Amino acid sequence: MNDSNIVWHDHHVSKSERSEQKNQKACVLWFTGLSGSGKSTIANALESKLYEMGKHTYLLDGDNVRHGLNKDLGFSDQDRIENIRRIGEVSKLFVEAGLITVTAFISPFRSDRKIVRDLVESGEFIEVFIDTPLEICEQRDPKGLYQKARKGEIPTFTGISSPYEHPVSPDIHIQTAHHSVEESVSSIIEYLSQKGYLDASTH
């Protein structure tokens, strides 16, 4: 029955309501670092730990973005910028959804990371530098990419034929040569806890 006398209050569920419902403060933990630096490993371990703690998270990485949303993009400079732009915009949506969002992409350029930082509100962007020396990354070479890059089979490869601009003042600095995955996760959790992200009531 169409009763036009009913006044429907046009309520939108707010970002803070979505965060509070999950007893946390939404943010994006933006991991940056060389290929093979350990971004995905630490990001997955962090997510598992946060899940155990009852926190609501989501991880954006090459696995779920490259073959889906960004499958139309290649590796030209323009496409790499567009790749990060879209990931930034999607991260913003996940933050609005109230989730602790983790992203694991090389994201080598300061300007691109700044674009994402500026997309979200102050305090919502947490830059996590996964700092592993190039020699170690190349030694690990989990996907055999460095070997290919050295042979010239990958024309632009970060750290070899394309620059990696390390963060000047990352919010969290993880040196994997000196810390295990477990220690790295603990230090990120401690940061989140101290800054009040793991409890909706703290400010």
Contact positions toward a second copy, by CB under 8 A? 1-3, 6, 8, 10-13, 17-18, 21-22, 41, 44-45, 47-48, 51, 54, 56-60, 64-65, 68-69, 72, 82, 86, 89-90, 92-94, 96-99, 119, 176-183
In 3-state terms the chain splits into helix, strand, coil percentages (rounded to 5) of 40, 15, 45
Of 35, 91, 107, 184, which one is the catalytic site residue? 107
User: How many other CB atoms are there within 10 angstroms of residue 36's CB atom?
Assistant: 22
DSSP secondary structure letters along 37-77: SSHHHHHHHHHHHHHHTT--EEEEEHHHHTTTTTTT--SSH
Chain centroid offset of residue 97 CA: 15
Let me know if 107 is a catalytic residue.
Answer: yes
**Closest separation in Å from C-beta 70 to a second copy:** 8
Going by the DSSP 8-state scheme, the letter that residue 126 receives in this structure is E
**Closest separation in Å from C-beta 154 to a second copy:** 25
Beta carbon nearer to a second copy, 28 or 149:
28
**Closest separation in Å from C-beta 127 to a second copy:** 20
Calpha distance 198→50 (Å, rounded): 9
Quick one: tokens of 1?
Answer: 């029955």
**Closest separation in Å from C-beta 79 to a second copy:** 13
Beta carbon nearer to a second copy, 74 or 163:
74
Residue positions annotated with a catalytic role: 107
